[in-house]
Amino acid sequence: MEDVRAVYGGQNRRKAAFMSKNDKEENMKKIVALLLALTLVFALAACGKKAEPAATEAPAPVESKPHIGIITGSVSQSEDDRRGAEAFQAKYGEDMVKLAIYPDNFTEELETTIQTIVNMADDPDMKAIIVNQAVPGTTEAFRQIKEKNPDIICIAGESHEDLPEIGSAADLVVNNDFVARGYLMIRTAHEMGCDTFVHISFPRHMSYETMSRRVAIMKAACEEFGMKFVLETAPDPTTDVGVAGAQAYILEHVPQWVELHQRRPHRASAQAAARVRRMLRRG
């Protein structure tokens, strides 16, 4: 019996040893296979990784300069306004300051006048539009500009339209004190020794509320200083006669007006007429 156990025991030990040896070999194969798989994965990852391009800084955005539009009359209509606009452009550059001219006959070419002003708002960089002098049509033009771009600042200088009207559309209205000037002119004429003041105008100007108020003050000031006030009419320079025609008419009639309204001897009136003609020729 003991021999039988010994035989079976020896066989079991040999079988266990054999199985242990097989297990070790199997485990070793698994480890090697795993290492090979990991090696392959890392190799593929290294091959598939592409070099990223070096980071480059994006160019800084170029900021465009704000544009300012200035619309005036021509040199023949309002030379000071036009020259002032040109000087402003010369100082700040054509790339910033844009100029335009409304028609000389702006009352009859109202639509062209309005469109000339409104066209400035087509510039996407336009920030402010100035009209000087703010002739009839400026109010409507400013309203259309605000509909296009409410951020554009609209400025009116020397408005020909009633101040409440232009003020309803403009962000800023700049006017000389026409009313106070009426008194100052008469007082200055009195201090110069004048006894008659001749005011030369035309119906369109006299229809402006500020102009009619100034004339009323002139008349009152003439009464205060014991002077004679006379109102004479000349052609409107915005009509077909133009500026040159209006100037020629005044030059022709000055001697007649001086002769007609004089209070002093003829010699003084002739000298006064000559002085007026020289002033008109100088513009």
Residue 130: burial class (beta carbons within 10 Å; 0-12, 13-18, 19+): buried
Residue-range definition of the domain harbouring residue 119: 67-174
Is 127 strand, coil or helix? Answer: strand
- Tell me the per-residue pLDDT of 25-82, one tens digit each, with 9 for 90 and over: 555 555 445 444 444 444 444 455 455 555 566 666 656 789 999 999 998 888 899 9
Distance CA 218, CA 228 (A): 10
Which is more confident, 4 or 160? Answer: 160
- Residue where one domain finishes, among candidates 141, 157, 174: 174
Alpha-carbon torsion 263, 266, 270, 271, what sign?
negative
pLDDT, mean of residues 92-107: 93
- Per-residue confidence at 273, pLDDT binned at 50, 70, 90? low
- Domain of 143, CATH number, reads 3.40.50.11400
- CB 226: neighbour CB atoms within 10 A? 8
Residue reference for tokens 């309204």: 261
What does each C-alpha distance from 180 to 121, 176, 189, 215, 250 come to in angstroms?
35, 9, 15, 11, 26
Distance CA 266, CA 195 (A): 14
Residue 123 pLDDT: 95
In a domain, 206, yes or no: yes
Q: How many domains does the chain have?
A: 2
pLDDT, mean of residues 122-142: 95
pLDDT beyond 80 at 144: yes
DSSP-derived secondary structure letter, 114:
H
141 and 234 inside one domain = no
169 and 244 inside one domain = no
151 and 186 inside one domain = no
149 and 184 inside one domain = no
The set of residues, in sequence order, having a beta carbon less than 8 Å from that of 227 and lying 6+ positions away, is 186, 189, 190, 194, 195, 196, 197, 221
Q: What percent of the chain has a predicted confidence (pLDDT) above 70?
A: 70
Residue 261 pLDDT: 83
